[in-house]
């Protein structure tokens, strides 16, 4: 088959999708706002769930449980692990949302450090009116 475009396999598409969702989740985790952190944790959870689900291989025309006439069987363990991870992910997301709301109520900002960058009194941040070099 010279000159024909190579066909993309389902494994390649799943791996690429998991990689893109994981990279987006990590990028959101590194943001400075608590809402982005919650979204990043959710996306990472989704990527892990799909990864666990695909570890059971992609089967066609295979029975999920034992039957008399079926020769092909899928492994139910990855499906059970993914379902358990979904439930744990919902609980973790609820906890992170409550933690972000409490931090916003206590600090008056949704920044993960508790203060806006450049605000007075934030360590490692120079005030806006400071001369270059930090000398007064």
Report the candidate in 95, 90, 115 with the shortest Cα–Cα distance to residue 104: 115
What pTM was computed for the model? 0.70
Q: Which of the 8 DSSP states describes residue 108?
A: S
Structural domain spans, the chain = 15-56+73-113
The residue among 128 and 102 whose pLDDT is bigger is 102
CATH number of 15-56+73-113: 1.10.287
pLDDT tier, 2 (very low <50, low <70, confident <90, very high otherwise): low
Tens digits of residue pLDDT in 65-121: 666 666 777 777 888 888 899 999 999 999 999 988 998 888 888 888 767 776 666
């Amino acid at each position: 088959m010279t000159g024909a475009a190579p066909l993309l396999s389902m494994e390649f598409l799943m791996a690429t999708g998991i990689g893109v969702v994981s990279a987006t989740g990590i990028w959101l985790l590194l943001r400075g706002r608590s809402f982005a952190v919650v979204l990043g944790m959710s996306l990472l959870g989704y990527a892990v769930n799909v990864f666990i689900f695909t570890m059971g291989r992609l089967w066609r025309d295979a029975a999920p449980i034992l039957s008399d006439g079926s020769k092909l069987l899928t492994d139910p363990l990855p499906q059970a692990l993914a379902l358990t991870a979904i439930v744990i992910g919902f609980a973790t997301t609820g906890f992170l949302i409550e933690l972000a709301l409490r931090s916003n109520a206590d600090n008056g900002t949704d920044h993960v450090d508790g203060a806006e960058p450049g605000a007075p009194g934030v360590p490692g941040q120079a005030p806006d009116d400071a001369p270059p070099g930090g000398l007064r």
